[in-house]
Structure 1
Amino acid sequence: MNFRKYIAFGLVFFGIYASAQQVLTTENAVKLALEHNYGIKIANSSVDVAENNSGILNSGYLPTLTGNAGASIDQQNTEGELANGDTRIANGAETRRYNASINLNYTLFDGLGRLYNYKRLKEEYQLSELEARETIETTILQLFSIYYSVAQLSENSSALEETITISKDRLTRAGYQFDYGQSTKLEVLNAEVDINNDSINLINAKQQLRNTKRDLNMVLGNQIAQDFDVSTEISFILQLNKEELLEKTKANNITLLQAEKNIAISQLDIKTNKAQFLPTVGLVGSYGWNESSNNSPLAFLLQNTNTGVSAGLNLSWNLFDGGSTLTRIKNAQINLEIQELQKQQLATDVERNFNNAWDDYQNRLTIYQVQEENIKTAQNNFERTQEKFKLGQVTSIEFRQAQLNLLNAELSRNQAKYDAKLAELTVLQLSGELLNVEL
């Protein structure tokens, strides 16, 4: 009996504690995940890198400007003979030289290679955005999967708590009946065994609930410091239209959009390689300053200073590179064909997956509706059996079976409810609408 008292006290304490916990709504959960989930943060950082790479500073369109400077000192012993036959000797003659220049280098034309490469960088940036969106969609779907697991376990725990309350009442009744000689000790022992089994099931359910809450908090970037509850209220988007969603799937599915970007990148790769057949024209220019001084008696000039500007054009044309450019072009064309075939395959797979997901959603929604009706039947059956049990018209075994039937109906209903909602979210993800609807 002490064991049952401890359980009752623990359940009361848990109920008081749980009522003071914060309720994490789906809206807040999504907001926390978007801001703090590590996978989403990494994906957003990758987008930032791709955006930097696609800027004008990485395009090759801007000129390069370099500065050079130098200084040197020479000290030499020199002996020289003049035209009149005199000989002059300079020991330790020192020569100083200084120079500085600014050099400009700009490619005027490179066969449009820069243009195609710049467009390629833009396409890669957009592809990185699609990859980030895919990460967000996957994370949000994972978030809801865990969130609804927490909700389901919460409802299961409540159902098990109600079962324990009923089992405790049965045990009390069996004790009274035994005390007054209306039943045997076996009825009391059976009731004790059942309440112990129910208590163990509740303990296991609560442990699983705590573990799943930790999993949910991990997806949220560990932003919830204390324990929390989740909302068990869900609504279905009943206005979903299969044909409209299928058209959206063909236009907005994330994998198909990524395949289109890869095709665009492959087309630009071909143009970039073909640009290497054309010449490159460049502009060069410089402004320089040079100064030298010489204290040797043999020198004609003791100091010399030069400044000036120079400019010019250069042309480079790789007339034949052994066929490597042609090979790259052929390989790029083959890669484009592969990308197009992969897109066709993906389109077929996505349409099949959508149809499967839609049928799965409809089936699970129907099962949930059937389970809702089954709850009513099980509840009615239990209430009738409970009344007959109080009147002594049914055995404790029959009463226990009705109790378990009601519990199993509630657990099955909870499972069906959240399975149907997750199936709906899968349909929305495939159609590219997961981030566009209010969940």
Structure 2
Amino acid sequence: MKLKRWIKAGVPFMALLLASPGAQAADLSLQEAINLALTQNTGLKVTQKGEDTAKYALEKARGSNGVSVGLSDTLSTTKNKDSDRQDSNSVGITGKLPLYTGGKNQASIKSAKIGVESASLQTQRAQEDLKLNVIKAYYNALEAQKTVGVRQETVDKYQEHFTNVSQLYAAGSKARIDVIRSQVELSNARQNLIKAENSYELELADLRNYLNIDRSEPLNLTTDFSYLAFDQDMGTCLDYAYRNRKDLLVDKNKLEQQEQAIKEAKAGYLPTLNLSVGLNSSQKFHPSSENSHGATASVGLSWSIFDSGVTRAQVKTAETSRDVAKLNYLKDKEAIDLAVRQAYYNMREAEKRFNSTQDAVHQAEEDAFIAREKYRAGEGLMLDIIDAQEALSTARLNYISAQYDYARYKATVENAMGVELTAEEKQAAALLETDADAALAQSRLGSSNDTTVDSTRKVAEELAGNEGNK
């Protein structure tokens, strides 16, 4: 199985790297990075655990409305004045079933069902946010890499210029101050290059963190910027967001849960009806032996006709929580509106900058070339060289920034709209639900932390083989 297929299959990235001869840097596209993050990001695993919690809450709510069985065993000794001591043992088993709870149990079950749906929506939203973070981190790393290239070229140009000025100075055609100034500019350019290289390493570290891979492994990012026009208007984006944002749907669910909480509280005004069935056995063994067996069945009615305002306070508390849920829904809707607008305007601004900076780069290149040639001919000034080179670096950096700003803001707009994962990404995210690959790797490699390349390669090959047999 090829590396790309392994990555799409969700095979641990570290195993793939070590399975390659020499543990060389693996090519990683943007889509593969997204799939990897959805498959093994730790934060996403934590969020997904909320689904399990919600499912258990639903089981608890359903159990409260079902049959409960209790067992009791009592050993007693009684001694009264002027009578012999009596020893006995009583065993009983009782089953209870709530017949009517005033709607409390039903409201609790419905609220728990809504909670399960909300937990799933929260996981989906976390997946969408993770996708956006990976896209940003990936493009940040690419932009930093391109910036390193620009800074390196600037250093090369200043180095070339410094060499030229030194030769002219040695020939007596240039002043010493030109040599000093060119050396200063070369030093400054090297400082910018060092900062750019460090920024690139930081961006790669950020990307590795989202992917949850070895933090020191080399990466070769293969997806470069490609301009894709965004043809939807602002109104369309907002309407889509109102209908599809998972967190807004969660707010609606919370509002419905508060309505159910009000029903639960109001159930305190109503009676409860329970069915009880029991079997009991009693044995007296001192001073005489005597056995008795019996069965009971009863329907019990309980109604609290006065509780000093406790139920009323519970209802008012639930209604207040309902009102808060409404306000939170409106507040989040306003926040979504703002987020969509901000991302949309930023995207359009970056798009305009991208289109306008292309010509600026060509003009700056021509200006820098003319300045260098004039200086060589003895007609230009040192300041012309410096200004032209600085203008060229700025134009190139502006062009790079506009490119990746557009890509990032376009992804931000789609995230703010609540665009769901693609089919391929959902398939990758589904692999997060099980830790089968990690368990297999652990069982093959043992508990030792010192793993060899050969043993890890075997694990990667076995995982790949298992995937191919599916």
TM superposition score category, shorter chain reference: 0.7 to 0.9
Greater RCO (Cα-Cα under 8 Å, separation 6 or more) = 2
1:343 aligns with 329
2:218 aligns with 227
**TM-score, normalised via structure 1 length:** 0.82
Cα root mean square deviation, aligned: 2.8
Q: 2:244 aligns with which of 231, 238, 252?
A: 252
2:381 aligns with 395
Q: 1:267 aligns with which of 259, 268, 273?
A: 259
Residue 151 of structure 1 contacts residue 231 of structure 1 at CA under 8 Å; is this kept in 2? no
Q: 1:355 aligns with which of 341, 345, 348?
A: 341
Separation in structure 2 between the aligned mates of residue 389 and residue 35 of structure 1, nearest angstrom: 57
Correspondences of 1:122-137 after superposition (within 5 Å): 122-137=113-128
Residue 67 of structure 1 contacts residue 101 of structure 1 at CA under 8 Å; is this kept in 2? yes
Q: 1:237-273: CA deviations, max 9, x gaps?
A: 4244124322211101234222211221121122222
In the alignment, structure 1 residue 31 sits paired with structure 2 residue 38: no
- Report SS of the residue matched to 1:211: helix
**Structure 1 residue 414, shift from structure 2 partner:** 1.7
Correspondences of 1:25-424 after superposition (within 5 Å): 25-55=29-59, 58-71=62-75, 96-231=87-222, 233-242=224-233, 243-294=235-286, 296=287, 302-424=288-410
Separation in structure 2 between the aligned mates of residue 436 and residue 216 of structure 1, nearest angstrom: 21
* Aligned AA (1:252): N
Separation in structure 2 between the aligned mates of residue 283 and residue 213 of structure 1, nearest angstrom: 65
Q: 1:353-373: CA deviations, max 9, x gaps?
A: 423332221111111221222
1:7 aligns with none
Separation in structure 1 between the aligned mates of residue 33 and residue 263 of structure 2, nearest angstrom: 46
Give unmatched runs, 5+ long, in structure 1: 1-19, 81-92, 297-301
Aligned in 2, Cα 1:150/1:172: closer, same or farther, shift over 3 Å? same
Separation in structure 1 between the aligned mates of residue 278 and residue 227 of structure 2, nearest angstrom: 71
**Structure 1 residue 378, shift from structure 2 partner:** 1.4
**Structure 1 residue 147, shift from structure 2 partner:** 2.8
Deviates more, 1:408-417 or 1:137-146: 137-146
Separation in structure 1 between the aligned mates of residue 284 and residue 358 of structure 2, nearest angstrom: 99
Separation in structure 1 between the aligned mates of residue 265 and residue 119 of structure 2, nearest angstrom: 23
Separation in structure 2 between the aligned mates of residue 355 and residue 130 of structure 1, nearest angstrom: 23
- Report SS of the residue matched to 1:397: helix
Aligned in 2, Cα 1:432/1:25: closer, same or farther, shift over 3 Å? same
- Report SS of the residue matched to 1:226: coil
Deviates more, 1:230-239 or 1:263-272: 230-239
Deviates more, 1:42-51 or 1:131-140: 131-140
Q: 1:55-110: CA deviations, max 9, x gaps?
A: 36654122111112244578x89988xxxxxxxxxxxx886533322111111111
Residue 35 of structure 1 contacts residue 41 of structure 1 at CA under 8 Å; is this kept in 2? no
**Structure 1 residue 192, shift from structure 2 partner:** 2.2
Aligned in 2, Cα 1:326/1:94: closer, same or farther, shift over 3 Å? closer
Q: 1:148-181: CA deviations, max 9, x gaps?
A: 2222111111111111222222222223323333
- Report SS of the residue matched to 1:67: strand
Residue 274 of structure 2 contacts residue 301 of structure 2 at CA under 8 Å; is this kept in 1? yes
Give unmatched runs, 5+ long, in structure 2: 1-23, 426-470
Deviates more, 1:240-249 or 1:306-315: 240-249
Aligned in 2, Cα 1:43/1:318: closer, same or farther, shift over 3 Å? same
* Aligned AA (1:329): V
Separation in structure 2 between the aligned mates of residue 368 and residue 77 of structure 1, nearest angstrom: 100
In the alignment, structure 1 residue 22 sits paired with structure 2 residue 26: yes
- Report SS of the residue matched to 1:287: strand
Q: Which has the larger radius of gyration?
A: 1
* Aligned AA (1:55): E
| Count of paired positions | 401
